Amino acid sequence: MITVDGICKTFKVAKRSAGFIAAAKAMFKREYIAIDALRDVSFKIEEGEVVGYIGPNGAGKSTTIKVMSGILVPDSGKCEILGRTPWKERIAHVKNIGVVFGQRSQLWWDVPVIDSFELLKDIYKIPQNEYSNNLDMLVQTLDISGIINTPVRQLSLGQRMRCEIAASLLHSPRILFLDEPTIGLDAVSKIAVRNFIKKINKEKKVTVILTTHDMNDIEALAERVLLIGKGRILYDGSLKDLRNRFGANKTITVDYSENHQPIEIAGTKLLSWSPERASLYVDTKEVKVSDVISMLSDKLELTDVTVENPPIEEIIVELYKEYAL
């Protein structure tokens, strides 16, 4: 459905040092540095997938999304989405996709949300009946019936974001690109957005590609993760494999009856300690979890034991570290 093959994109960025003299100099002679936003990016996405696209700031996530939605023209490489090259057949291509840029707004600022929707209906030439069906569904599942008659400028960020998502799905696109859809949202709105994405993926078979910095989004939604750093794809696979590869470590938390001796076990790291409770970080390559527990029970009178996977955030930090991002 989506094939990206060897996409490269370089941006020319004007460079100048701080200060007035540098600014005055730049009026005559400008220095540019070339920044490789994307270097040989390739991947394939099948219909109905939800793919999480992650990477640190400036890694090239948004640039990839923009290339795939036909906004940017790459310097080289091929991209085929539903049989079309986005930037060559932009108008035909964009009919099949919906895009949400979390940091931008596609709604008209001064008029009620519903007016923007009506305009989109005409822009995409959506048949009346399809439009009303989609609108009903979106208004209901995104819970925006109370706000679609309010001017956009009076909406909160969370309310606006839900309207933005609705706006990008009115024309029943087959692919949805979400560029940081949960940026700046509170927990309730985040969960609403996530549930909604799950729902349309399941019920309407919409292929979803989302970029985010919130690993909970990825954990809740994406089976597959693409990691990009410095313009290169570094990892492409399931979240589970990612965990196995980088998250081979566990955290053991034990409660015990009072003991004033700090614990020391080879292959583990003490994360926190008090006379009643300790948290240990276990590197499972060096020592097995069961061994640690038996050693602990030898030394202490345990009352409770919990073994946890490290949070996905930590895995990502590890990953970034490993690739020196």
Partner 1 sequence: MKVYASVFKMRLINGLQYRTAALAGVATQFFWGFMFIMIYEAFYQNASVKQPITLEQLIDYVWLQQAFLAFITFWFRDGEIFDLITSGNIAYELCRPSGIYGFWYSKLVAQRLSSALLRCFPILIITFLLPEPYGLSVPPGVDAFIMFIVTLLLGLLVLVATSMFIYISVFYTMSPTGSQLLFNIIGDFFSGVLIPIPLMPEWLQRIVYILPFRLASDLPFRVYSGNIPVEEAMKSILIQLIWLGILVVSGRGLLGKALKRVVVQGG
Q: How far is the CB of 193 from partner 1 (least distance, A)?
A: 19
Amino acid occupying residue 156: S
Contact of 309 with 250, CB cutoff 8 Å: yes
Contact of 37 with 63, CB cutoff 8 Å: yes
Q: How far is the CB of 217 from partner 1 (least distance, A)?
A: 18
Report DSSP letters for 209-239, one per residue. Answer: EEE-S-HHHHHHH-SEEEEEETTEEEEEEEH
Tell me, residue by residue from 101 to 120, as one string, x for binding to partner 1 by CB under 8 A and - for no binding. x-xxxx-x-xx---x--xx-
Selected binder of partner 1 within 7, 50, 51, 97 (CB under 8 A): 97
Give the nearer residue to partner 1 in terms of CB position, either 69 or 249.
69
Q: How far is the CB of 292 from partner 1 (least distance, A)?
A: 44
Tell me, residue by residue from 30 to 59, as one string, x for binding to partner 1 by CB under 8 A and - for no binding. ----------------------------x-
Residues that contact partner 1, how many (by CB under 8 A): 31
How many Cβ atoms sit within 10 Å of the Cβ of residue 39?
A: 17
Euclidean distance between CA atoms 39 and 230, whole angstroms: 8
Give the nearer residue to partner 1 in terms of CB position, either 104 or 285.
104
Enter the tokens of residue 236: 């492409």
% helix / strand / coil in the chain, to the nearest 5? 35, 30, 35
Residues 61-90 that bind partner 1 (CB under 8 A): 62, 66, 69-73, 90
Give the nearer residue to partner 1 in terms of CB position, either 105 or 216.
105
Q: Does 11 bind partner 1 (CB under 8 A)?
A: yes
Q: How far is the CB of 68 from partner 1 (least distance, A)?
A: 10
Q: How far is the CB of 8 from partner 1 (least distance, A)?
A: 15
Selected binder of partner 1 within 21, 91, 187, 324 (CB under 8 A): 91
Number of H helices and number of E strands within the chain?
A: 11, 13
Q: Does 243 bind partner 1 (CB under 8 A)?
A: no
Give the nearer residue to partner 1 in terms of CB position, either 111 or 302.
111
Euclidean distance between CA atoms 139 and 115, whole angstroms: 14
Q: How far is the CB of 210 from partner 1 (least distance, A)?
A: 16
Q: Output the CA–CA distances (angstroms, integers) from residue 178 to 59, 74, 182, in the order listed.
A: 16, 20, 9
Q: How far is the CB of 83 from partner 1 (least distance, A)?
A: 16
Report DSSP letters for 45-81, one per residue. Answer: E-TT-EEEEE-STTSSHHHHHHHHTTSS--SEEEEEE
Contact of 121 with 174, CB cutoff 8 Å: no
Q: Does 211 bind partner 1 (CB under 8 A)?
A: no
Give the nearer residue to partner 1 in terms of CB position, either 68 or 239.
68
Q: How far is the CB of 71 from partner 1 (least distance, A)?
A: 4
Euclidean distance between CA atoms 319 and 235, whole angstroms: 10
By the criterion CB under 8 A, which residues form the site for partner 1?
Answer: 11, 58, 62, 66, 69-73, 90-92, 94-95, 97, 99, 101, 103-106, 108, 110-111, 115, 118-119, 122-125
